[in-house]
Structure 1
Amino acid sequence: MGSLLGSGSFGSVFLGTRLADGALVTIKCMPRDRIQHWGELPNSASAPLEMVLLDKVSSGCAGVIQLLEWVELPNSFLLVLEHPEQCQDLSGVLA
C-alpha cells in the first residue's frame, strides 16, 4: 500500500502496487463498523453491498472500475480495484 488518495465516511483509499506484476491498483479500506448496507455474494457469503455490486458489474461493464480482488480482515474489508491511467478526483469536477 502506498500513499493515501482520499478518505470519507465509508473508508480510506490508497494507491497500491500489485506484487505479481507491478501494476498500479487502488486499495479501499472499509472498516467493518462503518458498513451500513450488506449484501450476499454468489457463494452466499455476507459482504458490504458496495463489494457485492462491484462483483456483479466487474466483468465487462465499460466505464466501471473493476474489482480485482478483495480481502476480509477481522475489522475491515480491503477492495483491490483497478487504477485507470487517466483518472480525476470527482471533487474537482463537482463544485
Structure 2
Amino acid sequence: MANTSSAKKMVRKIERRTAVNKARRSRVRTYLRKVEEAIASGDQAAAQDALRVAQSEMFRAVSKGVVAKNTASRKVSRLSSRVKAISA
C-alpha cells in the first residue's frame, strides 16, 4: 500500500482516470455493437448511420488515449467493408 502522501494522491488519480477510461471504452463498445446489430439485420442505411457515429466515437477514444490509432483504423476499416458488402 502507498506510504507517502504523493503516492496516495497518485492512487486516487489513477482510480479516477481508470473509471473515466472504462466508461469511454464501454461507450465505444456500445456503438460498435450497434453497427454489428445493423449489419446482422441487413439494413444498409441503418448500418451506415451507425458506422458513422461509431467511427467518430472510435477516433475520439483515440484522441483520449483509450484506444490505439491503428486499432481504431483497423476496426473501422473492417466494419466499413462489411457494411459495403451488405448491398452486394
> With structure 1 as the length reference, what TM-score do the two structures score?
0.27
Query: As a proportion of its length, which structure holds more helix?
Result: 2
Bigger-Rg structure (1/2): 2
The structure richer in strand per residue is 1
Query: Bigger relative contact order, structure 1 or 2, given CA contacts below 8 A and separation 6+?
Result: 2
